[in-house]
Amino acid sequence: MGRKVNFILQGKGGVGKSFVAVLLAQHYRADDGGNVVCVDTDPVNATFSGYSAFHTRRIELLDNGVVDSGRFDGLMMAIVDEDADFIVDNGASCFIPLTKYLFESDALGVIGGTGRQVAFHTVLTGGYGLRDTIAGFDWLAEKMPSTTQIVVWLNEFFGPIEVDGKGFEDMKVYHRHRDRIAALLKLPKQNEQTFGRDLKAMLDQRLTFSEARESAQFNLFAKQRIAMMERQFLDQLKLVT
- Give me the CATH number covering residue 153: 3.40.50.300
Residues 211 and 108 in one domain: no
Last residue in a domain, options 147, 173, 189: 189
Residues 180 and 217 in one domain: no
Residues 94 and 23 in one domain: yes
Q: How far apart are CA 99 and CA 165, in angstroms?
A: 32
Tally Cβ neighbours within 10 Å of residue 105.
Answer: 15
Residues 60 and 164 in one domain: yes
pTM: 0.94
Last residue in a domain, options 164, 189, 214: 189
Residues 84 and 121 in one domain: yes
Given a cut of 70, is residue 18 above it in pLDDT? yes
Question: Nearest-5° angle of CA 123, CA 127, CA 129?
Answer: 50
- Asked if residues 226 and 213 have their Cβ atoms less than 8 Å apart, the reply is yes
Last residue in a domain, options 189, 204, 229: 189
Average pLDDT, the chain: 91
Amino acid at 168: F
Q: How far apart are CA 54 and CA 22, in angstroms?
A: 9
Q: How far apart are CA 110 and CA 77, in angstroms?
A: 10
4: buried, middle or exposed (CB in 10 Å: 19+, 13-18, 0-12)? buried
Residues 126 and 179 in one domain: yes
Range of the domain at 115: 4-189
Q: Which residues pair with 38 in a beta bridge?
A: 87
Residues 225 and 143 in one domain: no
Residues 135 and 177 in one domain: yes
Q: What is the pLDDT of residues 127-173, one digit of tens each?
A: 999 999 999 999 999 988 888 899 999 999 999 999 888 999 999 99
Residues 39 and 116 in one domain: yes
Number of domains in the chain: 2
Q: What is the pLDDT of residues 169-196, one digit of tens each?
A: 999 999 999 999 999 999 999 999 999 9
Residues 109 and 224 in one domain: no
* pLDDT, mean of residues 111-132: 93
Residues 134 and 234 in one domain: no
Q: Which of the four pLDDT bands, split at 50, 70 and 90, describes residue 1? A: low
Q: What is the pLDDT of residues 54-111, one digit of tens each?
A: 999 999 888 887 888 999 999 999 999 999 999 999 988 888 888 888 888 899 999 9
Residues 122 and 223 in one domain: no
